[in-house]
Amino acid sequence: MTSRVALVTGGTGGIGTAIVKRLAQMGHKVATNYRNEEKARAWQARMREDGIEVFLTRGDVTSPEEAAAMVHAVEAALGPIEILINNAGITRDTPFHRMRPDQWMEVINTNLNSCFNVTRPVIEGMRERKWGRIIQISSINGLKGQYGQANYAASKAGMHGFTISLARENARYGITVNTISPGYIATDMVMAVPEEVRAKIIADIPTGRLGTPEEIAHGVAFLVDEQAGWITGSNLDINGGHHMGW
Ligand code: NDP
């Protein structure tokens, strides 16, 4: 297998950690960004205990300047980025009639504008080298909407438009661009939901359980594989059957 350089944004989070681990176990050189150095170094030490080496660089994905600096730091240390996983994301849930401008902007900036900020400094190199894998971690709620998540659902739906346009523009350059839409995964983001709400969500999932971060990482492993070169502009639903069809 060819060893590639991979950047996973938000790699220190629940799903990000599983993606970082899986890519490293596949033999790729993996990097991620952080905002809080102390927290990130502690995370890096835990990864080392599992035999996983990760390159860390400071960077807030909402800033075009910081995102570009982050990409340059990774490329200087590990080489050109060939796999990009736009995974960093947040929620700021509240019904739309009560939503403040900062709650709207923060979510759109973190989840959607970040895709521009991080992908833009990466894409030209991928086009020159004629190989690349770009995956956006979207969400089930970007497809079906959710009460209290007009900001989040809009940002996640926007990732699909971004993906299919980039897929068209770059298919002739050996670059595939896809989204993965996770259903509800047992990470801090979902465990922060009140227990009774979580129980209702689980009751609605045909498989009768939350997903695991490793199940999302498995989808990433599939899409970055050398043999997945004809899969582009696709969305991979990984949701236990919670949302089927279109
Ligand atoms: P976590 O909250 O566990 O992790 C989010 C990661 O993103 C953290 O590493 C966080 O870093 C980073 N991050 C957030 N904002 C920024 C920023 N401005 N700049 C840089 N990094 C940032 O979330 P999950 O692992 O659960 O989610 C990962 C992705 O999967 C998200 O895009 C989410 O929307 C999506 N998703 C999750 C689902 C779930 O059930 N958990 C379901 C569907 C989609 P820091 O530690 O600095 O905050």
Is residue 61 within 8 A of residue 32, CB to CB? The reply is no
pLDDT, mean of residues 179-184: 98
Q: What average pLDDT score do residues 232-241 get? A: 98
54 located within any domain: yes
Does residue 183 have a pLDDT over 80?
A: yes
Kindly state whether residue 244 falls inside one of the protein's structural domains.
no
What is the mean predicted confidence (pLDDT) over 119-130? 98
Give residue 1's pLDDT: 80
Domain span at residue 46 reads 5-236
Give a yes or no: residue 117 inside a domain: yes
Is 63 part of any domain? yes
Largest CA distance in the chain: 51
Per residue in 59-73, pLDDT tens?
Answer: 999 999 999 999 999
- Whether residue 179 is contained in a domain is answered as yes
pLDDT over 90 percentage in the chain: 96
**What pLDDT digit, counting tens, does each position of 136-166 carry?**
999 999 999 999 999 999 999 999 999 999 9
Q: Assess if residue 18 is contained within a domain.
A: yes
What's the mean per-residue pLDDT of the chain?
97
Is 243 a domain residue?
Answer: no
- pLDDT confidence of residue 127: 98
Tell me how far CA of residue 176 lies from CA of 101, 182, 187, 191, 212, in angstroms.
34, 19, 28, 33, 25
Amino acid at 177: V
| Helix locations, 5-140, DSSP H | 14-25, 37-49, 64-78, 101-107, 114-129
pLDDT for 246 beyond 80: no
Task: Determine the pLDDT at residue 193.
Answer: 86
Q: Among 7, 8, 15, which residue has the most ligand 1 atoms within 8 Å of its CB, making it the best to mutate?
A: 15
The CATH number that applies at residue 159 is 3.40.50.720
Q: Residues lining ligand 1, judged by CB closer than 6 Å?
A: 9-10, 12-16, 33, 35-36, 60-62, 87-90, 110, 137, 139, 182, 184-185, 187-190
ipTM score assigned to the predicted complex: 0.99
The answer to whether the CB of 137 falls within 8 A of the CB of 87 is yes
β-bridge partners, 34: 58
Residue whose C-alpha is closest to residue 52's, from 26, 78, 76, 74: 26
- pLDDT (0 to 100) of residue 189: 80
- Ligand 1, atom nearest to 152 Cα: 34
pLDDT at 188: 86
The C-alpha R_g of the chain, in whole angstroms, comes to: 17
Q: How many domains does the chain have?
A: 1
What's the average model confidence in pLDDT over 9-21?
98
